[in-house]
Amino acid sequence: MSKDLEGGVWDALKTIRYPGMSRDIVSFGFVHKVTIDGSTATVELEMSTHNAEAAEAVRQEVEKAANGVPGITATSAVLKLQQPAKRQAAQRSIAQDPGLLPEVRYVVAVASGKGGVGKSTVSANLAIRLAQLGHRVGLLDADIYGPSVPTMFGISRRPATDGQTVEPFEKYGIKLMSLGFMVEIDTPVIWRGPMVMKALEQLLGQVSWGALDYLIVDMPPGTGDAQLTLTQRVPLSGAVIVTTPQDVSLIDARKGLAMFRKVNVPVVGIIENMASFACPHCGEVTHIFKSGGGERTAQLVGCRFLGSVPLDPAIAEGGDAGEPIVVTEKDGGPHADAFKVLAEAVMAEVESPPTPQLTIV
Ligand SMILES: Nc1ncnc2c1ncn2[C@@H]1O[C@H](COP(=O)(O)OP(=O)(O)O)[C@@H](O)[C@H]1O
Ligand SMILES: [Mg+2]
C-alpha cells in the first residue's frame, strides 16, 4: 500500500517544473527521497541553487501536488538548499588559481577540436539564453586567433579602464570581454606562449566581472598548447564540446574531449551544431551532414548529448549583424527554443546533484 502511495507521489512530482525550465523536478534530480507513513507523505528536496525563492515555490507546489494524491492526507516537503559552489571547488584542479574569478560560481568553457563549427555562435546564444533564464552571466571571448564577440555583439569601442581594472561591456543582459576589444581586429595576432598567458590572465583577473552565476568562455579552436594552458589556468567547472555532424569534425571533438579529461576538467556534454536544415519554402528538413553523429559520439565517449542546433541563415545573419538569434527571437521561436533546451541541459549537468535513487519504504 505504502509503495503504491509512494509511486503516486513520485508521479505527481513529475508534473512539477522548476520555474523557468521545461523539465520536471524529478528528472532534474531535485527530489531526494519520498517516505510514506500511513497517509502522511514526507518529501525531501535537495537543490543546488542560489534562487531560494524559486526553491520555496517548488516546495509549496510539491506539498500541494502530493496532497492531491488519493490516499495522502498530509504532506511535509522539506527543502535542503546546497551551495552550488561546492561541486565546482572540488572539480578545480590544483594548477588553477582560486584567486582568479572568486565571485564566479560556474565557469564553463565552450570548445571544439577545430574552428568554424560554431563555437562562438553557440557561446553567445547560450550565454544570452542563460541570462534570459534569470542568471547573472558573463561571456569571455578567449579565442586569441579570431575573436568574434566584437562582431557578434556589434561593439567596436575600447573598454573603459582606470589603469587597474577593465570594465566589461554589457549588452543583451550579459557582461562581455574579448581580446578583440584590445587589439585591431584586422591585424593578424601572433601570440607567443607567455603573451597568451599574460593576456588571458588580464582578461580573467583584471576585468571587473563582479558576481556571476555563469562565465561562458569561448575557447580558441584545437587542442594545442594554448588550449591546454587555458584549461589549466581558468578555474573551469566543465567544458561543452561543439561539433558538426561530419566525421572529421566528430574526430576532432573526440580529441577535444580527451584533452579536457587529461587535465581533469569534466566534460559537460556535446552540442551538435548545423545539424539539420529546414527548407524555407517547403519546410522539409534535410540533414546536410550525417544525422545523429553528435549523439553517437557522446554515447561512445560516455558523456551527455546536450542537444542540437539547426543550420539556418538567420543564425549566421544574427551573428554578423551584432544581434544573436536568441535576441531576435526573445519572445520565442524555434532557435530560441533550441538554445533554451541547451541552456537547461548545461544547467542540469553543472548545477544538479546526481539523480537520486527511488527509496522504497
Ligand atoms: N547553426 C548555424 N546556422 C548557420 N550558420 C551558422 C550556424 N552556426 C554557426 N554559423 C556560422 O558559421 C560561421 C562559423 O561560426 P563560428 O561560431 O564563428 O564558429 P567558431 O567559433 O567555431 O569558429 C559563422 O559565420 C557563423 O555565423
Ligand atoms: Mg570563434
- Torsion, CA 227, CA 233, CA 235, CA 238, rounded to 10: 20
Q: Do 332 and 287 share a structural domain? A: yes
Backbone dihedral angles phi then psi of residue 113, each to the nearest 5 degrees: -70, -30
What is the atom index within ligand 1 of the atom nearest the CA of 116? 23
pLDDT at 199: 76
Coil vs helix vs strand at 29: coil
Report which bound ligand comes closest to the CA of 122: 1
Output the pLDDT for position 101. 80
Residue 357 lies in a domain: no
pLDDT of res. 165? 87
Q: Are residues 224 and 340 in the same domain?
A: yes
Residue 356 covered by a domain: no
| Residue 113 pLDDT | 83
Place of cell 583584471: 206
CA distance 31 to 52: 16
Q: Do residue 180 and residue 227 come from a single domain?
A: yes
Total domains in the chain come to 2
Please identify, among 48, 82, 116, the residue that sits at the C-terminal boundary of a domain: 82
Asked if residue 124 is part of any domain, the answer here is: yes
pLDDT at 93: 39
Does residue 153 sit in the same domain as residue 193?
yes
pLDDT value for 96: 54
Question: Is residue 360 in a domain?
Answer: no
Are 132 and 48 within one domain? Answer: no
pLDDT at 357: 39
Q: Please check whether residue 194 is in contact with residue 188, taking contact to mean a CB–CB distance below 8 angstroms.
A: no
Domain boundary among 82, 116, 136: 82
Residues measured by CB to lie within 5 Å of ligand 2, the ion: 119-120, 143, 148
Instruction: Tell me if 358 is assigned to some domain.
Output: no
CATH number of the domain that 12 lies in? Answer: 3.30.300.130
22 and 93 share one domain: no
Residue 170: predicted pLDDT: 97
pTM for the model stands at 0.72
User: Among residues 203, 214, 200, which one has the least CA distance to residue 138?
Assistant: 214
> Are 138 and 53 in the same domain?
no
Same domain, yes or no, for 189 and 257? yes
| 73 and 141 share one domain | no
Structural domain containing residue 234: 87-351
Tens digit of pLDDT per residue, the chain (361 long)?
A: 677 899 999 999 999 987 766 667 887 678 888 999 999 999 999 876 667 888 899 999 999 999 999 999 999 999 988 655 433 443 443 345 556 787 888 999 999 888 889 999 999 999 999 999 999 999 999 887 778 999 999 998 889 988 888 899 999 999 999 988 876 655 555 656 667 667 777 787 889 999 999 999 998 887 776 677 778 777 788 999 998 887 766 777 788 888 887 777 888 999 999 887 777 777 777 776 666 777 777 777 778 889 989 888 899 999 999 999 999 998 888 888 999 999 999 998 888 644 443 444 3
Residues whose beta carbon lies within 6 Å of some atom of ligand 1: 112, 115-121, 148, 221, 273-274, 309, 311-312, 315-316, 319
* Residues 260 and 189 placed together within one structural domain of the fold: yes
Q: How many CB atoms lie within 10 A of CB 188?
A: 8
Domain final residue pick, 82, 100, 126: 82
- 123 CA: nearest ligand 1 atom: 17
Residue 169, domain CATH = 3.40.50.300
Q: What is the model's pLDDT at position 21? A: 66
* d(CA 94, ligand 1 centre) in Å: 34
Tell me: do 73 and 125 sit in the same domain.
no
pLDDT at 87 (0 to 100): 38
Closest C-alpha to ligand 1, atom 16? 118
For ligand 1, pick from 112, 114, 121, 342 the residue to mutate: most ligand atoms within 8 Å of CB. 121
Does any domain span residue 193?
yes
Residues 191 and 53 reside in one and the same domain: no
